[in-house]
Structure 1
Amino acid sequence: MASLTMMPARGRMWLRAGFGVGVVLLVAQFLTIMPAVRSWVSGHSWADDILQDAVYLLAAALVLTRAVVVRQDRGAWLLMAAGLSFYAAGTVYWIAVVVKQDPPPYPSASDVMWLMYYPFAYAAVSRLLRARQSRISLSAWLDGLIAAACAAAVASMVFLTGFTWGGSGWSVVVSLAYPIADIVLAGVLLGAWALSGWRLERLWILLLAGMGLNTVANGIHMWETTTGMSIPGHWTDTLWTVALAVIVAAAWQSPQPTSERLPARALVGVALPAVLACVSMALLLAGSWRYDGLPRASSALAAAAITAAIVRMLLTVRAVEALADARRQARTDDLTGLPNRRLFQETLDRDLHDRDARAPLAVAIIDLDRFKEINDSFGHQLGDRLLQLVAARLACAVGTDGVLARLGGDEFGVILPGAGAERAQEIAARLLAALRLSFDLEQIALHVDASVGVAFFPDHGADCVMLMRHADSAMYIAKDDHIGVAVASTVTDLDDGRRRLATLEELRAGLDRGELILHYQPQLNLTADAVTGVEALVRWNHPERGLVYPDVFLPLAERAGLMGRLTSQVLEMAIEQCRAWRADGLKLAVAVNLSASNLQDTALPGYVADVLSRHGVPSAALHLEVTEEILMRDAARATDVLAELRAMGVRLAVDDYGTGYSSLAYLHALPVDDLKLDRAFVAHCDTDPRSAAIVKSTVELAHNLGMRMIAEGVENGAALELLRQWDCDLVQGYHLSRPQPPDRLAAWLRQRQPPTQPDHGARKPAIADR
């Protein structure tokens, strides 16, 4: 018993001696059952008296010592020690005084002391329960009522059957007090165990067993007294002694951590109340068959147990319904009412379990394109409504061919049992066609596109995880290649997917650590034959891979919603560098590329104005380039942002002209200053007559619309001369210079042309300066 280690060495020695004496007394009590020993004890009554007194006094002393030595549950064990002390005092007084009187008085002081044991025992059990169960549910209360009522009903049948009301007033009261106290104790013990959740803690089990044995011994003694029959061998004395020993053992159990106090199995928690209710029912039936019936108290207690059991059953039914509802909700998407990712995976696992390898099955992952921009542009409420409409349309398109689920965000999954490659692709195309029809939302017609990845069992995996990985990887391929539907192919797809995710996480960390750098490519003004501007091109200075070019990480940043952070850093670096060059006498304009998602951010103009003001750079020194891709997004919103930027004095250009819609309508509507013709036309204008015609006509178009023409991708002198002849305004390309770090570019510029006087006044804000 670990509690002994808390005592001084001398105290431990005395305590061990006490336990040793207790073992000797327990053995001696068992020996008195033997006929030979029993015969000797009958002739030497003093030995039996000493044995009984020693047993009760030692039990009370050991429990009291435990309460003093160990702080945990001290109050409960002090109460138990007090109860046992009264019981021991009553026994000593009985043996020393009462039995020597002729006739022995009844009731006597011993009866009062014996009865005092019960309230202290009740209080001790209650305190132990409260220390272990701070909050008790209604079902636990009902279990306690069932257990207590059933135990009390059984005890009352034992104690009250044959009870007579003979004698004077106090003798009747005391005679009735004993069975009532034992009946209550039986109910308290079993009820407390039920309230504890039927926990299997050693201390609890031993205490209930010890006190229960004591009650059983009292019942046997009452039966002997009532019937006039006695059990040979003083078995009742032995049971009382064993009960005291078990209570002492319970008191000295090492405290168990909460994590080790094991609750009963769920089956026990359901079965025990049911068994107790059946016992109560059996008591009532037995009483109805008997001529004299049961004591009224027994019948009332049994009826109470049955009533509590009925209420408990109703609560259990409600709990089961609530649990089923909770399980359904845990597997259902709140927004769309579709199965969620958990149910999707469970269904797929179930379909794959022991599935014949020849039986086809397909898994499709559907991800909406640019859904984040819809949320950012129109708000989450409209985005949620769109998801609900998308879910309904997909459900109609899938029909009975498969199981549709929302996996999270704007991602959906479909399980297609029995679908081979051809059938699965046909269904995927049907899903895309359904989504591409416009959605009418709050007087706004939105067009939605999606990317679908498809994987097949068993080609791409025999379990849920592998199939979903392959389908997810194929979906990203479809998104990157803008092909709508992609079928998983090899393990390489998974490797690519892992690399993309790893790159994305490294990019997040790189943005935090400031790993982005800018290289600058000069733009030659053909009219002035001087470099008047540069284009800022972002690079990622990866700590392990070195320089990573934007085609690797910009698409990932766009999909992950990182373009806002990335663009902010690029603008900050570009304008800071522009300020440094101007202070050094190099009056260069800096061109920065914006993505289509940047133009959905209404806070962008304010941010640009703030950066220009902080660095003292005039707005005319900043050129912003956008692609024709804005027409695939919210063109009206982008136009408002561009107009605000242009009103500040920032110069705007359409980048990669000729690779997108190339619509004269949007050129007329967009507030832009420059056209930047894509390198695909410029690079071959000196050798391909068609390319030459496109370049020449585009220069004329730009001039007719009041715009400047910028040609990128100038690779040789012949192309440069043609562009000069066609009156192109600005050119850039490898023939002129590759993109360079700012220090190398500055040296290159100084060699090509002398710098002007340093711009010492450039720190004065000049946002509206053009």
Structure 2
Amino acid sequence: MASLTVVSARDRWWLRAAFGLGVVMVIAQFLAAVPAVRGWLDGHSWARDVLQDAVYLLAAALVLARALIVRKDRGAWLVMAGGLGFYAAGTVWWIAVVVKQDPMPYPSVSDLMWLAYYPFAYTAVVRLLRARRSRISVSSWLDGLIAASCAAAFASVVFLNGVTVDSFEPGLPMLVSVAYPVADIVLAGVLLGSWALSNWRLERVWTLLLTGMGINTLANALRMLETNSGIYVPGGWTDVLWTVALALIVAAAWQSPQPSAERRPARALVGMTLPALLAFASMVLLLSDGWRHNGLPLASSSLAAVAITGAIVRMLLTVRAVENLAAARRQARTDDLTGLPNRRRFLEILARDLDQRDPRSPMAVAVVDLDRFKEINDSFGHHLGDQLLQMVSERLTEAIGSDGVLARLGGDEFGVVMPDADAVRAQKIALGLLPALRHPFDLDQIALHVDASIGVAVFPDHGTDHCVLLRQADSAMYLAKNDHRGVAVATGAAADDAGRQRLTTLEELRTGLDRGELTLHYQPQMEVGTGETTGVEALVRWEHPRRGLVFPDVFLPLAEHAGLMGRLTLQVLDIALAQCREWRDEGLYLVVAVNLSASNLQDTSLPGHVADGLARHGVPPGALHLEVTEEILMRDAARATEVLAELRAMGVRLAVDDYGTGYSSLAYLHALPVDDLKLDRAFVTHCDTDPRSAAIVKSTVELAHNLGMRMIAEGVENEAALDRLREWGCDLVQGYHLSRPQPADRLVTWLRERQPSTLA
């Protein structure tokens, strides 16, 4: 009884000795079937009896030991040990008592104990099955029904052939005689049905157990046939089969636990083929009823009919599943919103066309990206944005016609595959798409004008692989967007490297946001009148794990284009408020200024996030300043004004950043709920030497004061500029003359050295 023992049992000498004894007994049982040895055993029947009893008792003991020692599947193996124990007890009682009685009683106590094995065996198999499959699909249940019915049908032919009610004495003898074949028929069905329910797994435990119990059932059938034919020989090959069956059951019990990842179902082809073969076998069995002399037992034909019926239902379910799978595959390759092929399908089409193309025959791919679509989405809502995308897809499809295949790659980005198009033709097709988009789109009584940037890459000039071509087209699209030229053709390796670097940086930024890699440096803001540092501006940096400190001009434009600014701003705000709280705990009452992008002001939930952050860190609203740029005029000014009003009502102070570089409209200064003007460094840096800059700065200070605002000058580089700003009445200044942006710990050191009175 060779076995693979688990780790917890390897050091038990008595267990190793028991397995060694089991191996010896299996060999002895094989030798006992050899005619020469069997002849000797006929004269020494006690030796055969001892061997047979020992085999059954040892098998039951080893399975019981496994259940007691190993926790995994303990309940199932305890039940199996109980069944084998009854079987062994029945055998011992038969040899020790029953065969010595004259006449031998029927049924005897041994019969009842042998029959008791079956319910234990059923229960053990079911418990092992449930431990491995908590949820069973309808198709698996049908496979189990087909397998169980087919196995029981064939088993019933063997066990019930020629059996009638008149074959047995009435009463208990008849019940016991019928119970044996019925129990074996049910066991055959349980074994094959359980294998089907396990998804036809070939796990070692399952394979050994079902094989062992199947051989035991086969040995019972052979014993019945040999007994009915009068050719049964004690100690023959039928007894060898019983021993082999017990050895396999014990080996199954002592298998090392197999990881769940390795318990894989059989291949799909096997899962489809086996039920079909079983159903076919049942049909052959049913048809054989017509040419059999005595016909089939009623139970056999009924079970075969059940198997065939289950196969028909299974086939119908399979057809439906195939249809659903085909529909799912179509849906997985179709954009839900526009009905166009999606990115996956687009890449498949592109890769297929490249594989089938003559290397000398050109083809082109284009990436179409709508300009300022995010502003439309933020200003008018996603519902209108979705309608716009649907109308855009219809116009692009009509404009492309038979010249290419259009797909939606995601968001406001579309892709076009243009077979047999060289660079000139591809550019001509791309240029023809722009007029189709420039006509106004009428949406909910709103006329929207949409433009696009298109990048084109051509095979084989710009790449021979679909990923390279798409990357080149994407890089060209960014060139077109940055240069405002509508259509751009890829320029080769340089653009590809730039595009790859941009995409790499963007993906690393997404990961960096997840990992909390953003950090803040703080630049002091000094009150000109008192010389005290009362606030700081928080400037974001990215602590890249390989590239070191990355400055915002590298990653903020990417974040804005990719829609990450909202998430990034909230992280910056949280870091700044946490630092503000830490400083206040140390007695350092600094106001912290945080920059907002124009897209942040389109988010109506921003005031709620700010209020939550202030409450969570215990920072008063007056300790937070938020700075916005004049770019808000290019977006939805009404929504931005509403958001700013909510923030100001909370007590947060607001400033217009980079004043003088944008529209600088007095109308919006009058309307916007802001408290401070922050003049751009381009005017401040040269205010001590350039009369024009001096005039702008002086007049802006007066304008701010007349509007009830404070004036903040950034870019103060020297003492002369600071003196002029003091002369003109500027309120706050910041710049390299005071301090460069620095981490929080170095800023505190700087404050202690420069103005100890600032620290409480």
Structure 1: which amino acid aligns with 2:381? G
Residues 1:748 and 2:721 aligned together: yes
Shift of 1:17: 2.2
> For residues 557 and 8 of structure 1, do their structure 2 counterparts lie closer, same or farther at Cα, with a shift above 3 Å needed?
closer
Does the 8 A contact of 2:458 with 2:469 survive in 1? yes
Residue 594 of structure 1, CA deviation: 10
SS at match of 1:281: helix
Paired with 1:568 and 1:79, the residues of 2 have a C-alpha distance of: 59
> CA distance change for structure 1 residues 290 and 613 in 2, over 3 Å: closer, same or farther?
closer
Match of 1:513 among 519, 536, 539: 519
| SS, match of residue 514 in structure 1 | strand
Separation in structure 2 between the aligned mates of residue 519 and residue 439 of structure 1, nearest angstrom: 48
Q: Which residue of 2 aligns with 1:492?
A: 494
After superposition, the Cα gap between the structure-2 partners of 1:323 and 1:40, relative to the gap in structure 1 and judged at 3 Å, is same
The answer for the alignment partner of 2:60 in structure 1 is 60
Q: What is the distance in 2 between the residues matched to 1:603 and 1:502?
A: 30
Q: In structure 2, what is the equivalent of residue 239 of structure 1?
A: 241
- 1:363 Cα deviation from its structure 2 partner: 0.7
Q: Distance in 2 between matches of 1:364 and 1:451?
A: 10
Q: What SS is found at the alignment partner of 1:363? A: strand
CA distance in 1, matches of 2:145, 2:228: 30
Check whether the contact 1:53–1:91 (CA below 8 A) recurs between aligned residues.
Answer: yes
Aligned partner of 1:426 in structure 2 is 428
Q: Secondary structure at the match of 1:288?
A: coil
Matched with 2:457 is 455
1:352 counterpart residue number: 354
Tell me if 1:22 matches 2:22. Answer: yes
Provide closer, same or farther for how the CA distance between residues 34 and 641 of structure 1 changes in structure 2, counting only shifts above 3 A. Answer: closer
Give CA deviations for 1:484-541 in whole Å, capped at 9, x if unaligned.
0000012111222244456666698799423586999x9xxxxxxxxxxxxx999988
Question: How far, CA to CA, are the matches of 2:210 and 2:147 in structure 1?
Answer: 13
1:275 equivalenced with 2:289 (yes/no)? no
| Counterpart residue number, 2:674 | none
Q: Which residue of structure 2 lines up, in the alignment, with residue 175 of structure 1?
A: 177
How far residue 182 of structure 1 moved from its aligned partner, in angstroms, is: 0.5
Moved more, 488-497 or 166-175: 166-175
**Is the CA contact 2:687–2:721 (under 8 Å) kept in the aligned structure 1?**
no
Q: Which amino acid aligns with 1:749?
A: L
Cα 1:253–1:338 shift into 2, 3 Å: same
Which aligned pairs between 1:44-193 and structure 2 lie closer than 5 A? Answer: 44-164=44-164, 165-169=166-170, 170-193=172-195
Q: Is the 8 A contact 1:511 1:566 kept in 2?
A: no
Q: Does 1:266 align with 2:290?
A: no
Q: Which range moved further: 480-489 or 125-134?
A: 125-134
**Residue of structure 2 in register with 1:32 after alignment:** 32
Q: Which of the pair has more CA radius of gyration?
A: 1
Q: 1:80 to 1:376 in 2, by over 3 A?
A: same
Between the aligned partners of 1:317 and 1:363, the Cα distance in structure 2 is: 38
Q: Which residue of 1 aligns with 2:474?
A: 472
1:111, 1:388 → 2: CA distance? 78
**Matching residue's letter, 1:77:** W
Q: Conserved in 2, the CA contact under 8 Å of 1:349 and 1:463?
A: yes
Task: Give the aligned residue type for 1:514.
Answer: L
Aligned to 2:757: none
Measure the CA separation in 2 of the matches of 1:306 and 1:553: 66
Give unmatched runs, 5+ long, in structure 2. Answer: 529-535, 577-593, 672-681, 702-711, 733-760
CA contact (8 A) 1:387 1:410 kept: yes
Q: Which amino acid aligns with 1:513?
A: T
Give the secondary-structure state (helix, strand or coil) at the position aligned to 1:269: helix
SS state at 1:513 partner: strand
Q: Which of the numbers 289, 293, 296 marks the counterpart of 2:298?
A: 296
Q: Which residue number corresponds to residue 392 of structure 1? A: 394
d(CA) in 1 for partners of 2:203 and 2:182? 28
The answer to whether the 8 A contact 2:522-2:537 is kept is: no
Aligned residue in 1 for 2:447: 445
Structure 1 match to 2:13: 13
State the TM-score, normalized to the length of structure 1: 0.75
Aligned partner of 1:253 in structure 2 is 255
Q: What letter matches 1:80 in structure 2?
A: M
Letter matched to residue 158 of structure 1: V
CA separation of 1:231/1:151 partners in 2, compared to 1, >3 Å: closer, same or farther? farther
Alpha-carbon distance in structure 1 between the residues aligned to 2:399 and 2:223? 80
- The 1-side partners of 2:381 and 2:109 are apart by 84
Q: 1:741 to 1:160 in 2, by over 3 A?
A: same
Q: In the comparison of the two structures, how many residue pairs are matched?
A: 665
- Indicate conservation of the 8 Å contact 1:61/1:81, yes or no: yes
TM-score scaled by length of structure 2: 0.76
- Relative distance call for 1:717 and 1:259 in structure 2 (3 A) is closer
Secondary structure at the residue paired with 1:367? strand
Cα distance in 2 between the residues matched to 1:247 and 1:549? 68
Q: Conserved in 1, the CA contact under 8 Å of 2:520 and 2:539?
A: no
Give the 3 Å change call, closer, same or farther, for CA 614–167 of structure 1 in structure 2: closer
CA contact (8 A) 1:155 1:186 kept: yes
**Secondary structure in structure 2 of the residue aligned to 1:287:** coil
Following TM superposition, by how much is the alpha carbon of 1:721 offset from its aligned partner in structure 2, in angstroms? Answer: 8.8
Partner deviation per Cα, 1:370-421 (whole Å, 9 max, x = no partner): 1111111111111111111111221222222222111111111111111111
2:591 is matched with none
1:295-318 deviation line (CA, Å, top 9, x unaligned): 110000000001011111111111
